[in-house]
């Protein structure tokens, strides 16, 4: 279903059963980069999907979201109202990015990550605004690994890696890498404990509540 108030660019491919609400723009601005919206995607009113983006099947992009150039969204992912993604960013499958988050460019969000509302991510520690003699900054956003959970109002600094299934408490400022399966919070965030086993996601081809590095049997270990 496509409403009359939408705008669809010339290089856009729409899958089946796509729902596009009022005042949505897809494939903006007109460029040669293809934009792909796969089957079953929902685009809420006021959303702008820039050229070169791809949105995977059954994902839901809610109201007033901006996805800048070359944002790749996986399958069955939910992006909440008012989220701003600056582009050149990879978002995996089964991700939930809740309302008003800012996703910087050149970052990666792996499968099954959760981000609470109003999170901020950054991609450079070298601010060169109006200072051309300082040169161009190197852009590198954070990496959020599979199953990581990020509380509301968290700020994650450039290049930081939040490990697999790590948990970051609300209001934290994450200035350094957080290892897998660790709990961290504070300003700056510090590791304070371990994610309890009953909260671990099941890994592919592994029994529930077993870490990837613990999945081998005694007989299979070298």
Would residue 53 count as lying in a domain? yes
| Number of domains, the chain | 1
Residue 129 bears catalytic tag:
no
Would residue 21 count as lying in a domain? yes
Between 136 and 107, where is the model more confident? 107
Would residue 212 count as lying in a domain? yes
Strands 182-185 and 190-194: antiparallel
Would residue 127 count as lying in a domain? yes
**pLDDT above 80 for 64:** yes
* Domain span including residue 53: 7-220
Active-site residue, selected from the candidate residues 63, 126, 129, 153 = 126
**pLDDT above 90 for 192:** yes
Would residue 2 count as lying in a domain? no
Question: Which pLDDT score is estimated for 46?
Answer: 97
Question: Which pLDDT score is estimated for 212?
Answer: 52
Question: What is the value of pTM for the model shown?
Answer: 0.89
Residue 29's domain is classified under what CATH number?
Answer: 2.160.10.10
**Cβ of 211: how many Cβ atoms within 10 Å?**
14
CA distances from 116 to 16, 41, 82, 149, 150 (A): 30, 22, 13, 8, 6
The per-residue pLDDT for range 117-154, each reduced to its tens digit, is: 999 999 999 889 999 999 988 899 999 999 999 999 99
């Amino acid at each position: 279903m496509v409403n009359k108030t939408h705008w669809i660019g010339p290089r856009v491919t729409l899958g089946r059963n796509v729902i596009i609400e009022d005042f949505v723009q897809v494939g903006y601005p007109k460029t040669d980069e293809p934009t792909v919206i796969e089957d079953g995607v929902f685009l809420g009113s006021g959303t702008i999907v820039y050229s070169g983006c791809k949105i995977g099947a059954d994902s839901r992009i809610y109201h007033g979201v901006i996805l800048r150039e070359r944002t790749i969204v996986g399958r069955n992912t939910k992006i909440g109202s008012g989220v701003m993604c600056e582009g050149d960013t990879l978002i995996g499958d089964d991700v939930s990015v809740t309302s008003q988050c800012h996703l910087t460019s050149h970052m990666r969000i792996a499968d099954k990550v959760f981000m609470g509302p109003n999170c901020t991510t950054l991609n450079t520690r070298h601010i060169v605004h109006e200072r051309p003699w300082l040169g161009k900054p190197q852009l590198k956003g954070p990496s959020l690994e599979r199953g990581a959970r990020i509380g509301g109002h968290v700020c994650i600094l450039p290049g930081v890696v939040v490990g697999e299934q790590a948990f970051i408490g609300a209001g934290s400022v994450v200035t350094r890498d957080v290892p897998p399966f660790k709990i961290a919070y504070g300003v700056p965030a510090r590791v304070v404990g371990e994610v309890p086993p009953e909260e671990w996601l099941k890994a592919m081809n592994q029994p529930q509540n077993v870490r990837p590095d613990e999945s081998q049997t005694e007989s299979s270990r070298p």
